[in-house]
């Protein structure tokens, strides 16, 4: 049982390039989330999906897009990367949305935009 996997583990990207961060879960969780974590700041929600086929904007959605074609996958795309998007990105999932349930996190992707 893998839980949540993310790929790549790390990436160095030139500014202006397009990049997709992959996230897959095998727990059949309905809700999935993308966070970024920066030094000195708490985890900030980028986008979320309460169920397959639906997505929503979090606290810091600008410059990012997501899709949720099925239950398991929730890719995050940076259309044109900028240096301020240098961060550690975590994907998470939970059994249900709209309720205070535990979120399970993937191992993270460390992204550097130069």
Partner 1 sequence: GQNIDQPTEMTATEGAIVQINCTYQTSGFNGLFWYQQHAGEAPTFLSYNVLDGLEEKGRFSSFLSRSKGYSYLLLKELQMKDSASYLCAVFDSNYQLIWGAGTKLIIKP
Q: Which residues bind partner 1 (CB under 8 A)?
A: 40-45, 58, 90, 97-100, 102-108
The least CB distance from residue 55 to partner 1, in Å, is 14
Contact 5, 21 (CB under 8 A): no
The least CB distance from residue 50 to partner 1, in Å, is 10
The least CB distance from residue 85 to partner 1, in Å, is 19
* End-to-end C-alpha distance for the chain, whole angstroms: 36
Q: Cα(21)–Cα(59) distance, rounded to whole angstroms?
A: 19
Our measurement of the distance from residue 92's CA atom to the centroid of its chain's CA atoms, rounded to an integer in Å, reads 7
Query: What DSSP letter does each residue of 83-106 carry, written as one string?
Result: GGG-EEEEEEEES-SSS----EE-
Q: Which is nearer to partner 1, 40 or 62 (CB)?
A: 40
Q: Which is nearer to partner 1, 67 or 104 (CB)?
A: 104
Q: Which is nearer to partner 1, 14 or 100 (CB)?
A: 100
């Amino acid at each position: 049982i893998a839980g949540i996997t993310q790929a790549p583990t790390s990436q160095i990207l030139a500014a202006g390039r397009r990049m997709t961060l992959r996230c897959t879960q095998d727990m059949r969780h309905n809700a999935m989330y993308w966070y970024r974590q920066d030094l000195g700041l708490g985890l900030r929600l980028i986008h979320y999906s309460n169920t397959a086929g639906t997505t929503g904007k979090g606290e810091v959605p600008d410059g990012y897009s997501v899709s949720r074609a099925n239950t398991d996958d929730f890719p995050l795309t940076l259309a044109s990367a900028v240096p301020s998007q240098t961060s550690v990105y975590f994907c998470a999932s939970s059994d249900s949305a709209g309720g205070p349930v535990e979120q399970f996190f993937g191992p993270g992707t460390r992204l550097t935009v130069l």
